[in-house]
């Protein structure tokens, strides 16, 4: 008997293990099914957002490969002891850097994942309004074992042996539920319970029932506008996230470009400081020669020596700043810190050749376009509408509860046939459930809160609109300032080049003043750096201007187009 029970338990364990293995095999199916629904939800709304990307896969495995980029073979003296580190470095153009960032940036990946999770959440809210089926079952095996005391008494008294009994009890339940968008619900449930005796009476006893019900709120929670509010909000939240993601892509592309130019500016600063240091040192050698001949005093030469030390310090600091900005840029692109890259100096030439002209728009036109095209402003306006709907929902919760219910119950036929139902004796019940809201403190507060939330959302929308206009005005001013700075610095470079030339000529004739030499060279170095800085500032401000107008369109590789018309 014990061996038999152990055998049954063993078989039962095998069934459980097999079921667990089967569930494990379906994990990949569940993942793919979730992806399909989520990506379809995103695709359904992609056309509603101008400039939205179609490439939003979150599981794409992309290994960073820089082998296809040209390698730097030059060693630059202006980088001092960092010069060797850039020999063999992969040279990245701006377009290549943008493409790498859109493929490997952790920040970009996080934004895609947040978009996916919003869509995943929506799939469940949609699922609430489709028929949902359920199936359950259970069984237990029972037996009674002979007691040793009873067996001994039977042997002494000669009584006949009492037989043991065994039984299997099982039950099943099949159900379906369907929520209606008008607030009602339909439910159907079929149950079966049966007992089979394995010894003794082997007849099979069974009972079953089919129960169907329909409920419909008539006052509180009535109507699709109330019942589907959660679904409506989830649909709109995904649209908001798509707009935010599209806005992020524009902002991210501009940030990558801005950092790219900033790194190049730091590199150019190091180059200019090195050139200034060489010029200072050349002047210092000449002045020391004059000092040896008694034509210069120690005080005069010392002034130039001090200037050379300060210039050396600025040069060293600029190299450190350049390398640090390059390391930070690697992280922005999603590269490892030990990846050896260098940026293309030709990019500075390209933005210089594009000129310093601002977009061909008036300031008034620019502000009007920003109000019409900014995706985040559309989100703000739609959230005002959301808050208006919440007022209706909160007001509905203050109504009395009145629910209509209809229930049909079909019993088992009791004819020995498992699962056969007796529809002739079905029982039907209909009724109304009424609830008077005597305690409405919570609902009252929610209603008042919804009114305030609406006012807050309205003010936030108006404030966002004003701030967007101010941002456009600020960027317009920055472009004008950068253009003015460029003109001033260009003139300043020309003036200081003549000053340096004259100071050098006078110094060679022994007529020059040390302070004039120092000042003219330092001013020339500063003017050259400021000239490059104004070019970079203008280019960045122009990119940010198109971005804040909502007219910067970015593709999946980070390349952009700017202008009034959306690119096809």
pLDDT digits (tens, 9 = 90+) for 55-80: 888 987 778 899 999 999 999 999 99
Within 10 Å of residue 195's Cβ, how many Cβ atoms?
15
Average pLDDT value for residue range 24-52: 89
Does 138 have pLDDT greater than 90? no
Strands annotated E in 366-484: 401-411, 427-435
- Alpha-carbon distance 211 to 216, whole Å? 17
Q: Which of 118-122, 137-141, 216-220, 306-310 has the lowest mean pLDDT?
A: 137-141
The pLDDT, as a whole number, for residue 170 is 72
The pLDDT, as a whole number, for residue 410 is 87
The pLDDT, as a whole number, for residue 420 is 72
Complete DSSP assignment for 2-58: HHHHHHHHHHHHHHHHHHHHHHHHTHHHHHHHHHHHHHHHHHHHHTTSTT--S---S
74: its two tokens: 């030059």
Q: Map out the domains of the chain as residue ranges.
A: 47-125+225-399+439-562, 130-179+184-220+410-436
Buried b (16+ CB within 10 A) or exposed e, 91-108: bbbbebbbbbbbbbbeeb
Instruction: Mark out the alpha helices in 334-414 (DSSP H runs).
Output: 346-353, 363-373, 375-396
The reported pTM is: 0.84
Contact predicate 69/96, CB 8 Å: yes
Span 402-424, pLDDT tens digits: 999 999 988 877 765 656 777 88
The pLDDT, as a whole number, for residue 419 is 60
Of 123-137, 246-260, 422-436, highest mean pLDDT: 246-260
The pLDDT, as a whole number, for residue 62 is 78
Helix orientation angle between 229-292 and 346-353, rounded to the nearest 10 degrees? 100
Does 567 have pLDDT greater than 70? no
Does 500 have pLDDT greater than 80? yes
Q: Looking at domain 47-125+225-399+439-562, which CATH architecture does it have?
A: Up-down Bundle (1.20)
CA angle 334, 337, 339 (to 5 degrees): 85
> Per-residue confidence at 216, pLDDT binned at 50, 70, 90?
very high
> Per-residue confidence at 10, pLDDT binned at 50, 70, 90?
very low
Buried b (16+ CB within 10 A) or exposed e, 14-44: eeeeeeeeeeeeeeeeeeeeebebbbebbee
The pLDDT, as a whole number, for residue 172 is 79
Q: Which of 296-300, 493-497, 519-523 has the lowest mean pLDDT?
A: 296-300
The pLDDT, as a whole number, for residue 258 is 96
- β-bridge partners, 169: 140, 195
Look at residue 401 and give its three-state secondary structure. strand
Look at residue 341 and give its three-state secondary structure. strand
Distances (CA, A) of 354 to 357, 482, 492, 557: 8, 14, 21, 22
Span 459-485, pLDDT tens digits: 999 999 999 999 999 999 999 999 999
91: its two tokens: 């040279």
For residue 461, how far is the Cα from the chain centroid? 23
Average pLDDT value for residue range 295-308: 84
Percent of the chain with pLDDT strictly greater than 90: 59
The pLDDT, as a whole number, for residue 1 is 44
Q: Phi/psi at 347 (nearest 5 deg)? A: -65, -30
Torsion of CA 91, 96, 98, 101, to 10 degrees: -80
The pLDDT, as a whole number, for residue 3 is 42
Give residues with Cβ within 8 angstroms of 184, minimum separation 6: 214, 215, 216, 217
Pairing, β 341-343 against β 90-92: parallel
419: its two tokens: 């699962």
- Alpha-carbon distance 294 to 37, whole Å? 88
Write out the H or E segment, with its range, that includes residue 274: helix 229-292
Does 159 have pLDDT greater than 70? no
Span 163-210, pLDDT tens digits: 555 666 777 788 999 999 888 999 998 887 666 555 544 455 556 688
Does 561 have pLDDT greater than 80? yes
**Can you give the three-state secondary structure of 183-198, one letter per residue?**
CCEEEEEEEEEEEEEC
The pLDDT, as a whole number, for residue 194 is 60
Q: Select the more confidently predicted residue: 87 or 303.
A: 87
The pLDDT, as a whole number, for residue 167 is 66
């Amino acid at each position: 008997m014990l061996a038999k029970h152990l055998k049954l338990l063993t078989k039962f364990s095998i069934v459980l293990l097999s079921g667990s293995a089967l569930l494990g095999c379906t994990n990949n199916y569940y993942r793919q099914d979730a992806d399909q629904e989520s990506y379809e939800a995103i695709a359904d709304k992609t056309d509603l957002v101008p400039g939205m990307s179609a490439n939003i896969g979150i599981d794409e495995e992309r290994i960073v490969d820089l082998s296809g980029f040209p390698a730097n073979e030059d060693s630059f003296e202006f980088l001092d002891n960092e010069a060797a580190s850039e020999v063999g470095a992969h040279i990245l153009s701006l377009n290549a850097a943008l493409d790498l960032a859109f493929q490997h940036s952790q920040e970009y990946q996080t934004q895609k994942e947040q978009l996916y999770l919003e869509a995943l959440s929506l799939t469940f809210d949609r699922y609430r309004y489709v028929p949902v089926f359920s199936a359950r079952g259970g069984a237990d095996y029972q037996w009674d074992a002979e007691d040793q005391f009873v067996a001994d008494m039977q042997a002494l008294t000669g009584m006949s042996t009492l037989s043991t009994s065994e039984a299997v009890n099982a039950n099943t339940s099949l159900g379906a539920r369907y929520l209606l968008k008008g607030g009602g619900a339909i439910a159907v449930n079929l149950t079966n319970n049966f007992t089979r005796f394995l010894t003794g009476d082997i007849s099979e006893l069974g009972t079953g029932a089919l129960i169907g019900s329909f409920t419909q709120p008539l006052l509180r929670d009535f109507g699709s506008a109330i019942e589907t509010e959660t679904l409506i909000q989830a649909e709109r939240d995904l649209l908001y996230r798509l707009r935010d993601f599209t806005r992020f892509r524009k902002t991210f592309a501009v940030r990558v470009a801005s950092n790219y130019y900033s790194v190049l500016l730091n590199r150019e600063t190091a180059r200019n400081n090195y050139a200034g240091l060489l010029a200072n040192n050349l002047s210092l050698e000449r002045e020391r020669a004059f000092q040896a001949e008694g034509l210069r005093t120690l005080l005069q030469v010392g002034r130039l020596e001090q200037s050379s030390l300060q210039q050396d310090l600025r040069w060293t600091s600029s190299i450190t700043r350049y390398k640090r900005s390059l390391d930070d840029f690697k992280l922005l692109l999603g590269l490892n810190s030990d990846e050896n890259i260098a940026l293309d100096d030709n990019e500075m030439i390209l933005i210089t050749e594009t000129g310093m002209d601002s977009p061909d728009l008036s300031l008034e036109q620019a502000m009007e376009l920003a109000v019409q095209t900014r995706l985040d402003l559309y989100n703000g306006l739609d959230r005002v509408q959301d808050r208006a709907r919440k007022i209706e929902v909160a007001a509905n919760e203050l109504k009395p509860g009145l629910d209509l219910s209809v229930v049909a119950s079909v019993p088992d036929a009791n004819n020995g046939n498992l699962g056969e139902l007796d529809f002739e004796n079905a029982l039907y019940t209909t009724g109304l459930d009424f609830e008077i809201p005597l305690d409405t403190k919570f609902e009252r507060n929610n209603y008042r809160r919804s009114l305030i939330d609406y006012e807050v959302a309205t003010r936030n929308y108006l404030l966002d609109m004003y701030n967007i206009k101010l941002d456009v005005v600020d960027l317009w001013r920055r472009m004008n300032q950068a253009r003015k700075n460029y003109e001033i610095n260009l003139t300043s470079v020309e003036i200081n080049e003549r000053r340096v030339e004259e100071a050098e000529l006078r110094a060679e004739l022994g007529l020059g003043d040390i302070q004039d030499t120092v000042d003219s060279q330092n001013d020339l170095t500063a003017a050259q750096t400021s000239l490059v800085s104004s070019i970079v500032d203008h280019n960045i401000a122009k990119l940010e201007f198109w971005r804040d107008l909502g007219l910067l369109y970015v593709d999946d590789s980070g390349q952009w187009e700017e202008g009034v018309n959306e690119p096809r």
